[in-house]
Amino acid sequence: MSGDEFHVHGAHDHAVEHAAEHGGGDSLPGRIAVLSAVLATLGAIMGFQGGDTQAKAQLYKNTAAITKTKANDQWNYYQAKGVKRNLADFGALMATKPEYAENFKAEADRYKKEQADIKTKADALEADVEEWDKRSEEQMHEHHRWALGATAMQIAIALSAIALLSRKTWLLYGVGLVAVAGVAFGAMALAGM
């Protein structure tokens, strides 16, 4: 400031300057603020992971449903070939001339082979459905772990605010306990437990 100006320091300015020069006498608010920031960061990471695993679970479940529809289509096709095969067998039985009977038998054999190929495809699709469903369930299980971890972090942050406002340092033990539970849930999610 230039020498021509007049400046009055308020009480807050004096307290800030005093704390800067001599160090704040009460570091509890600062420690709780840092703790809350760390908890919020962990909670945000866990929340993101929870959302990511939930989205994957839904994607895998949708893929299972689409694959199930394809498998059902194959089974319908298999049944249609079976009906044609049965008609060809009946035609061979009812044929009045041997050459007609042979033609119907050849068609029945062709439909039987086609049915075998269709069954192989349908069975493979059914196996894919089971795999996609399993992957979806695994992702939902992991999602629940992440969600529990994120919720624990939010509770720990709320407890730290209560500790700060009430100035009850014993509440910080509760903050620590809930935060450790949240970290444990996050570790379980990472480990696939």
Question: Domain ranges in the chain?
Answer: 30-191
Could you give the 3-state DSSP secondary structure of residue 26? Answer: coil
Tell how far CA 56 is from the center of its chain: 5
Amino acid 30: pLDDT = 82
Structure tokens at 189: 């999610």
Q: Which amino acid is at 27?
A: S
The model carries a pTM of: 0.70
Amino acid 11: pLDDT = 55
Amino acid 21: pLDDT = 60
DSSP state of 96: S
Residue 189 pLDDT greater than 80, yes or no = yes
Amino acid 19: pLDDT = 52
Reported as a single tens digit per residue, the pLDDT across 122-158 is 999 999 999 999 999 999 999 999 999 999 999 998 8
Percent over 90 (pLDDT), the chain? 45
The half-sphere exposure of 56 on its side-chain side, counting CA atoms within 13 A, is 17
Tell me the Ramachandran region of residue 167: left when phi exceeds 0, alpha when psi lies from -120 to 50, beta otherwise: left
Amino acid 170: pLDDT = 87
The answer for residues whose C-beta is within 8 angstroms of residue 101's C-beta and 6 or more apart is 92, 93, 95
Of 27-31, 42-46, 65-69, 72-76, where does mean pLDDT reach its minimum?
27-31
Of 3-12, 96-105, 180-189, where does mean pLDDT reach its minimum?
3-12
